[in-house]
Amino acid sequence: MTTLDIITIVLFSLGVVLVGLAFSRKGKSMQSFFAANGTMPWYMSGLSLFMGFFSAGTFVVWGSIAYSMGWVSITIQWTMAVAGFIVGVLIAPKWHKTGALTAAEYIHKRLGKSTQKIYTYLFLSISVFLTASFLYPVAKILEVSTGLPLNTCILLLGGLCILYVSAGGLWAVISTDVLQFVILTAAVIIVVPLSFDKINGVTALIEQVPDTFYNLLNDEYTFGFLIAFGIYNTIFLGGNWAYVQRYTCVKTQNDSRKVGYLFGALYIISPVLWMLPPMVYRVYDPSLSLLDAEGAYLMMCKEVLPNGLLGLMIGGMIFATTSALNSKLNIASGVITNDIFKNLRPKSSDRTLMYVARISTILFGVLSILIAMLIPKMGGVVNVVISLAALTGVPLYLPIIWTLFSKRQTSTSNITTTLLSLAVNGLFKFITPLMGFSLNRAEEMILGVTFPILCLAIFEIYYKAKNKESEKYQSYLVWNKENNARKLKEIEENESSEKAGNNFSKRVIGYGIFASGAGIAILGGMADNGQKLIITTGVVFALLGLLMTRNPKIIHKKGNS
């Protein structure tokens, strides 16, 4: 990397932090800090959901598969598009209908306080390691790119995220997500055509690859794996507590559906754009080993991007990945404040709760930083933690999703399913391989998805035969009706101020996009290749940002004059 690339990363980082800090005055209440007062525009929430699901692993893991196996990497990611549409149709509106501030609050009202405690402590315990596992690889990219010590990179990235998440809450998280999406999209749009230029056009990608390169499936990633992986993604996307925020922070159930639909639409298009560069690199240099193939995407970027633009791409990858980290910081703080502290001190003022929210964000972030710094000494823990995420996703989230559709599921059925599924998954992942018996990737995925479904189905059939309804269900319905009426009243009372707040957020994001577009255009003018493409991309995004900064009232008046 050149000095210009490093300067670009620094300026990009400062820009993201400034956008996040611009919302420090908006997080004045619990509803605002953790749910944006229920008036977040659906397209912003959808883009944030998309970015929260994204990580640098998208380019590393799937990029490696794209280089080695070809189109199957895109097929796998299309299951996420299907998951988004299913969540939009079925799950997102159900979450919005609950009226809960967090998933933990819903569990408390639907299944009881003791059940909420179990799930809360499970979620927080897993989340702190997952947050560290997101922070570590991103810091590793920064270390390799800049030469800074790894711990310094962890402290810098972790500190920046804590700074603006603790200041601006969900508004800061979602607004910076939108900005990062635009910048990453601009960078990818530049990389793809320049990659094709490097191999003299699209024809080479068709003719100079193995015969199986465009197969939708292969022996390792079978149709059974895709079905199981699609179900897993649906459950993870529909039940992860951080993602639930994206469905509940919008104004209406119809808006919550649109959040899922936008996610699905983006995951139809994006995998194709993301995977083309490593697929092209297979033609440019077919000699990479399986391990080296993990760097195929960045290698292609280094070959084609001029000085400064590589820094923009790496900066985009880094901060796009920290989106997931930011979401986890915000929801963990929400659970600690709303579902632990508030239950202990129910008469606490909004001021006290906001103080606790910010302090808990900082403390959870610091703990995640410390764990991330210890990862090199733990040896292979990142793979273990990622496996832990895959093993715990369905057992932790599916039982709660099931209660959104069933009045029969109880605390007993949920906890039994979760703990039993975790035990079975752990047994086949860590114990049976020591005895000489292990599952392949498809079998592991199918087991992890089907076992919890089977457990819950058995409970559902049993309760239906007994004509039994959850003892908490009727009291939940009463709370749900009262809570939704209160939320609707608050939204109506604050409608004018929230419209002004939404316009403010659009202008802040617009200024960020304008500055980024202008920067890309300037870097394009300094480039020694692809000048027209880079400058045009920069100008288009700068104009888009400028349009977003315009006051809607002024535009409306001009249209009527």
pLDDT in tens, the chain (561 residues): 788 888 888 888 788 778 777 766 655 555 555 555 667 889 989 988 998 887 666 777 788 899 999 999 999 999 999 999 999 999 999 999 998 878 888 999 999 988 988 998 888 888 787 777 777 777 877 776 677 888 898 898 888 878 766 666 666 777 778 888 888 888 889 999 999 999 999 999 999 999 999 999 988 888 888 998 899 999 999 998 889 988 988 888 999 999 999 999 999 999 999 999 999 999 999 998 877 887 888 889 889 988 888 888 887 777 776 666 767 777 778 788 877 888 788 888 878 887 888 888 888 889 888 988 887 776 544 455 556 666 788 999 999 999 999 999 999 999 999 999 999 988 988 889 888 888 877 788 888 889 999 999 999 999 999 999 999 999 999 999 988 888 777 766 666 666 666 777 888 888 889 998 999 999 999 988 889 999 999 999 999 999 988 755 443 444 444
* Residue where the block lists tokens 């920290």: 322
Contact 326, 174 (CB under 8 A): no
Q: How far apart are CA 445 and CA 431, in angstroms?
A: 17
50 close to 266: Cβ distance less than 8 angstroms:
yes
Is residue 373 a part of any domain in this protein?
yes
d(CA 33, CA 24) in angstroms, rounded, equals: 10
The answer to whether residue 557 sits within a structural domain is: no
- Distance, CA of 81 to CA of 260 (rounded, Å): 9
Question: Is 556 part of any domain?
Answer: no
Rg (CA), the chain: 24
The rounded distance, in Å, linking the Cα atoms of 74 and 268 is: 9
The CATH code of the domain that includes 276 is 1.20.1730.10
Domain enclosing residue 150, as ranges: 3-549
Q: Is residue 103 part of a domain?
A: yes
For the stretch 353-367, what's the b/e string if a residue is b when 16 or more beta carbons lie within 10 angstroms of its beta carbon? bbebbbebbbebbee
Q: Please tell me the distance from the alpha carbon of residue 330 to that of residue 324, in angstroms, as a whole number.
A: 10
Q: Which two tokens stand for residue 538?
A: 């920069």
| Total number of domains in the chain | 1
Q: Coil, helix or strand for 212? A: coil
Task: Please tell me the distance from the alpha carbon of residue 220 to that of residue 116, in angstroms, as a whole number.
Answer: 39
Exposure letters 390-414 (e unless 16+ CB within 10 A, then b): bbbbbbbbbbbbbbbebebbbbebb
Count CB neighbours of 157 within 10 A: 25
Question: Is 558 a domain residue?
Answer: no
Q: How far is Cα 106 from Cα 401, in angstroms, rounded to an integer?
A: 11
One-letter amino acid at 98 equals: T
Is residue 559 assigned to a domain?
A: no
Does a structural domain hold residue 50? yes
Helix H or strand E segment including 443 = helix 441-465
Give domain status of residue 98, yes or no: yes
Closest by CA to 139, choosing from 159, 124, 125, 167, is 159
Q: What CA–CA distance (Å, rounded) separates 416 from 398?
A: 12
CA distance 436 to 450: 23
In the three-class reduction of DSSP (H, G, I as helix; E, B as strand; rest coil), residue 412 is classed as helix
Tokens of 370: 């410390």
